[in-house]
Chain A
Amino acid sequence: MKARAIETRRGIRCRVFEAGSGAPLVFFHGAGGLLRDNPFLDDLATRHHVLAPEWPGYGESTGEELLEDMLDFALHGWDVVDALGLRQPHLLGHSMGGMIAAEMACLAPHDVSRLVLASAAGLWLDEHPIPDLFAALPFEIPGLLFADAGKGAALLTGGLDLNDMEALKDFYIGNARRLGMAGKILFPIPNRRLSKRLYRLAAPTLVLWGAEDRLIPPVYARRWAELCPGATVEILPDAGHMLPYERPEAFASAVSRFLS
């Protein structure tokens, strides 16, 4: 994918990965950011014009001090769509990105062509408390995010040499920056009262989930479907919270089926 820098009207500089042609599809990543390899995006780009912006505080995007709350994040999402010159794109959000995409669609329901929420954050069920990612030990994280924790650990570190102290320090600083940013809308409980606004959604909506999601369990997919008018639900087997990375082909084809 090609990377390019854009600047929003608010003055935030963002890096956007881009590939393919056809109807525009904007992918919003989750709290961990894009990983080194994102094969599901390449796959989607064979059928769509895929644009994957990085949130402020992630990768080469800056301006994190300008975003403080949920409204800031959602308006920034629309600022990015505007800066890219897109009209009525499909929005695809994963985890925290799904939370923001849903908020964007509540704010401007008729500016979204179709909406895909993949293991989206943003709801809270007292009977099913979501594990506290902000107080997780590093070795616990792959098990929370992937059906197959071993493979997940390798994907998360992206080939990082854990014996290289400098690389480790950079990873640690990057993580503090990314999750420090995510905490503004996810800490201490990832619920910014989106549930009371979801009635506004107008675009056809797909709720896509991993059957073995141990961070936000599939019971949340049902709750999204109850709250989003006319939403359909698809559960992918053998996938955890990081379903786009764990089952890239199945993920991309489920998204494409819904969009076509």
Chain B
Amino acid sequence: MKFTWFNLMPWPHLPDDFREQNRSVWVDIPSTLYDPRRGHHVYHEYMDQLEYAESLGFDGIGVNEHHQNGYGLMPSPNIIAAGLARRTSKAALCVIGNSIALYNPPIRVAEEFAMLDVLSGGRLVAGFPVGTSMDTNFCYGQIPSLTRDKYREAHELIMRAWAEDEPFAFDGKYNQLRYVNCWPKPIQRPHPPIYIPGGGSIETWDFCLDHDYNYSYLSFFGYLRAKSLMDGYWNRVAARKKDESPYRAAFAQIICVADTDQEAEALYAEHVLYFFNRCLHVFPPFADPPGYRTINTIKYGALSQMRAEAQKILQNLTWKQIVDERFVIAGSPETVRQQLEECVKGLHVGHLFCLFHNGNMPDWKTRHSTKLFAERVMPKLRDLWPDWSHDDRWWIKPMEDRLRPSALPRVGAGDAIGTRPAGAPRP
């Protein structure tokens, strides 16, 4: 098993009556609710947590992209990942990902991801989401029924930009570039591991299988509700005669660990409920503009978790409900181990995106839960897939001789700094 510590970076200062006073946490959330000075603290706290996760032995640390969103403060996850690249040295930097249909031209993503891969010594996991309708259509103005086509073209451009050694012309429908020449190129060849976060569009399954990319189901509603969708994915894998490596798939799960089940509720309930009640309060029409999902996906019945039915579930949600229905895996280390094993085996996933920070959870609780997990749960779940233990097709391959940032000189001790070494030629 590979464990990635993921932070959505929610704004932790939404008012108690946020749900009553606002129609949506996303797209048209009042920007007066954001305070840049508090934001300074929030970013640093969250980045510290991601770096802490590496020190505890998590395989990866994860960030993602959202726009105009009260639960995702990273319009540019690449900026955060660049910061993390400097103080970490082992963990994969999982950027899940860049909404490639939004970049104009998308060669920008090829360049920035290459920069991150080079900066981190080959530790980038590159995510290419189609993007939610909130981000893609309502915040960034893309036409819903053309979004997938634009995504397809952006993907083709980025992969060619990484693969080709000579400048080439790209005559696309949405992008016309006379000289495509990605400079720099990523360390990982032919390209970093590619993850496709999907929310239930069946077209995404075939896309992943066509290219042997990882399919990541990023749900906030736990493994019980994810079962039928992931079964659909694995059926498709079998139908396409691909092997059943669990590392083909990733799943996101909210996890809260305490010494006992009761203590988990006492410590974490209010923060998890903040997440479900405020952070997921999305105006339903933003989640499903006509044309965004294909007719095939609608007929398949895989509906967005942000739609009206889901919004009803979120009203008056209690801790008991979210634990019973496994939206959240919470409790003692043994409870969490047992439920996670059920989750991982049930969904047949080799990669787990673990969400320990939730809503307005304070730093110490986030670290407490993370540490208990790393010490008392993670070791027992490591070897759930013995038959596939050598399968690294969907994981990073860093270079051996990676650098750490050099130490900053002490003030006043710098007489030798910036002077020409003896024997160096004069200009």
Contacts and interface: CB of A to CB of B under 8 A. Distances in A.
Interface of A: 68, 134-137, 172-173, 175-184, 187-189
A177 B293 CA distance: 10
Interface string B125-144: 00000000000011001011
B79 interface: no
Q: How large is the interface on B (under 10, 10 to 19, 20 to 34, 35 or more residues)?
A: 20 to 34
A181 B291 contact: yes
A135 B137 CA distance: 10
A181 B145 contact: yes
Interface string B329-365: 0000000000000000000000000000000000000
Nearest to A187: B143
A180 B295 CA distance: 10
20 contacts: A68-B146, A134-B144, A134-B285, A134-B289, A134-B290, A135-B138, A135-B285, A137-B285, A173-B295, A182-B290, A183-B144, A183-B145, A184-B145, A184-B146, A187-B137, A187-B141, A187-B143, A187-B144, A187-B289, A187-B291
A175 to B, nearest CB: 6
Nearest to B139: A188
A181 B290 CA distance: 8
B153 to A, nearest CB: 12
B298 A176 contact: yes
B299 interface: yes
Contacts of B145: 180-181, 183-184
Interface string B294-312: 0100110000000000000
A176 B285 CA distance: 12
B3 interface: no
A242 B289 CA distance: 22
A176 B284 contact: no
Contacts of A176: 290-291, 293, 295, 298
B283 interface: yes
A138 to B, nearest CB: 9
Contact of B290 (A137, A180, A189): A180
A134 B290 CA distance: 7
B286 interface: yes
A163 to B, nearest CB: 17
B146 A175 contact: no
B290 A184 contact: no
A176 B143 CA distance: 13
Given A173-B298, A183-B289, 7 more contacts: A134-B289, A173-B295, A173-B299, A176-B295, A179-B289, A187-B141, A188-B138
Most chain A beta-carbon contacts within 10 A, residue among B137, B143, B290, B298: B290
B146 A179 contact: no
A173 B290 CA distance: 9
Contacts of B137: 134, 187-188
Contacts of B286: 135
A183 B290 contact: yes
